[in-house]
Amino acid sequence: MWTLYCLGVFHKLPGWLHSLVAGAALIAFYLLFVMYNFLLNLVLYQIVPRRYKQDYLIVLGAGLINGKKVSRLLGSRIDRAIAFSNKQYDKGHKRPKLIMSGGQGKDEDLSEAEAMKNYAVKRGYDPDLILLEDKSTNTYQNMIYSKAVAIKDYGSDKFKAKFFTNNYHLFRAGLYAKMAHLKANGIGSTTRFYFLPNATIREFAGVFIMHKKRHFVIIGLIAILFIVQAVFALLGWTRYLIA
């Protein structure tokens, strides 16, 4: 709609209708700008520098298959964390502890954290280096409760940590980490291409809702401005029109 408006397609409409179309076009432009900003941040977040001196690697949970089995998507997060740990160890640093973060859903036989630990142990990770956070039910709680687990284990909040999730989820998870005052950047595991578009749209919706008050205020002000203009046009007060 914004493109059509800029091309002058709607300029011959009655003044009141032209104002409404102009308002709708501006709202569409605003939404496109918000989406562009989201996609830009999502891409930039993929290239955060890796620092292989971490104390904890927080792996964010996801739903289990048949209530007990780690899915391929969740497994990719754990594998990515283990690979990071191996590389850190190969560089001569201590091996970090994994914090498996995920509670137990109503349809799950065990917590996501426990299932994730079992998965990592089967892949040779030392169970003594795995901590469980099994109370969280969403990403914000993942960050809050994992931070508490790390502080309890480390003895202070001066630890270094990274969180692991899928690449499409990195930006929103990073926002939640900031909200939880958890100083940790994320590392994303790859996602199958066919799943990526739908997942990215859902992530955009999630980020949009996180800031819904600000967005609704801006959209509301735009709508009110151009509705008032439409009324002025109907009343013949054309000197007040800006569209």
Number of domains in the chain: 2
Kindly state whether residues 117 and 230 are assigned to the same domain: no
pLDDT tens digit string along 148-184? 999 999 999 999 999 999 998 999 999 999 999 999 9
Note whether residue 147 is domain-resident.
Answer: yes
Domain that holds residue 7: 2-44+211-240
Asked whether residue 227 is assigned to any structural domain, the reply reads yes
Q: Are residues 144 and 229 in the same domain?
A: no
What local confidence, expressed as pLDDT, does residue 241 receive? 53
Please, are residues 201 and 222 in contact by the beta-carbon 8 Å criterion?
Answer: no
Residues in contact with 239: Cβ distance below 8 Å, sequence separation at least 6, in sequence order: none
CA 86 to chain centre: 26
29 in the same domain as 62: no
Q: What is the mean pLDDT of the chain?
A: 88
Residues 140 and 176 in one domain: yes
Tokens linked to 152 = 């309890």
Asked if the structure places residue 201 within a domain, the reply is: no
- Residue 198 forms part of a structural domain: no
Convert the pLDDT of each residue in 74-126 to its tens digit: 999 999 999 999 999 999 999 999 999 999 988 888 999 999 999 999 999 99
For residue range 188-209, list pLDDT tens digits in order: 988 877 777 888 898 889 889 9
Q: Are residues 77 and 174 in the same domain?
A: yes
Angle at the Cα of 204 from the Cα atoms of 203 and 205, rounded to 5 degrees = 90
CB of 132 closer than 8 Å to CB of 114: yes
Find the helix or strand (DSSP H, E) in which 35 lies. helix 15-45
Residue 203 domain-assigned (yes or no): no
Q: CATH number for the domain including 167?
A: 3.40.50.620
Decide if 27 is inside a domain.
yes
Instruction: Specify the pLDDT at position 3.
Output: 55
Question: Has residue 202 been placed in a domain?
Answer: no
C-alpha angle 53/180/199, rounded to 5°?
85
